[in-house]
Amino acid sequence: MTYCVGIEVNEGLVFAADTRTSASFDDVRVYRKLHVFEWPGDRVFVIMSAGNLATTQLTLSKLQRDVDDPHAPRSLRTFSHLYEVAEYVGETLVTSQARVIDDAQQSGVNVQSTLILGGQIAGERPGLYMVYPLGNCIATSPETPYLQIGESKYGKPILDRIIRPETSLEDAARCALVSLDSTIRSNLSVGMPVDMALLRTGDLKISQKVRLEADTPLYAEIHDTWSRKLEAAVHSLPRFPWEPQQEREAPTGPLPPMPPRRAPSRQDPGDAQGQQ
């Protein structure tokens, strides 16, 4: 499985993705799921992927070949509008799935992939699209300023509570990390390291790009601080009628160890089919 999230705010775009892939319980690997296509000053695109790894790699390879071919009629460099790029990426995804679908159907392998595409072309605002396996796509909106693919349910609550168009780019990035941290905590099929990229409106290049390991000081501090603040928030909630009404003091000592996940998460049907 996987988890990727893209966030659009007034200040720009945030992209964050885990890197865990699995073909079985004992075949866990690391693959990059956040891919950058960048021509500073003109345009920049980020593609994140969830689904069949072979299909994703074939799609990305085709996109790169078109970019490298000066005679290609269409490529990421030829379009004037981001929605045209989203349509082109969707068509490429459909073509990639069609190339392997006959063999895959005979073996029962699901070859579908879903993508998040975001970026900016000079003269336009940044934008964010989800590209579905059928090639169609949807964009973010002020009411829904983020998109998720993969194992999305664990990381959704903080996005719903915090993310607004006026949220700062850095706060949106912190929310993305907490969203991933919550998912990693609750689902074994999503794992470290985490890739993150920020695109600030008007920069026309990736403003910040980082890979975070579990022991990276920044990630470790965000993880510990979030746990501490959540615990303190629970202690500060209103008392039940049968409890003493005075406010309880929040714990000040070290956080107790988290309970172990005693059983592996339920296997996703796609895990045995080479899915991300």
Token pair of 184, please? 């990693």
**Separation of alpha carbons 178 and 169, rounded Å:** 14
3-227 falls under which CATH superfamily? Aminohydrolase, N-terminal nucleophile (Ntn) domain (3.60.20.10)
Phi/psi of residue 255, each to 5°? -65, 140
Chain segment 43-97, per-residue pLDDT in tens: 999 999 999 999 999 999 999 999 999 999 999 999 999 999 999 999 999 999 9
Rounded Cα–Cα distance for residues 154 and 144 (Å): 17
Domain ranges of the chain: 3-227
CB 133 within 8 Å of CB 112? yes
Q: Which neighbouring-strand residues pair with 127?
A: 119
Match 């929310």 to its residue by tokens. 175
Cα separation, 65 vs 43, whole angstroms = 18
Contacts with 125 (C-beta within 8 Å, 6 or more apart), sequence order: 201
Report the C-alpha gap between 91 and 105 in whole angstroms: 20
pLDDT digits (tens, 9 = 90+) for 142-199: 999 999 999 999 999 999 999 999 999 999 999 999 999 999 999 988 999 999 999 9
Note the pTM of the prediction, 2 decimals. Answer: 0.88
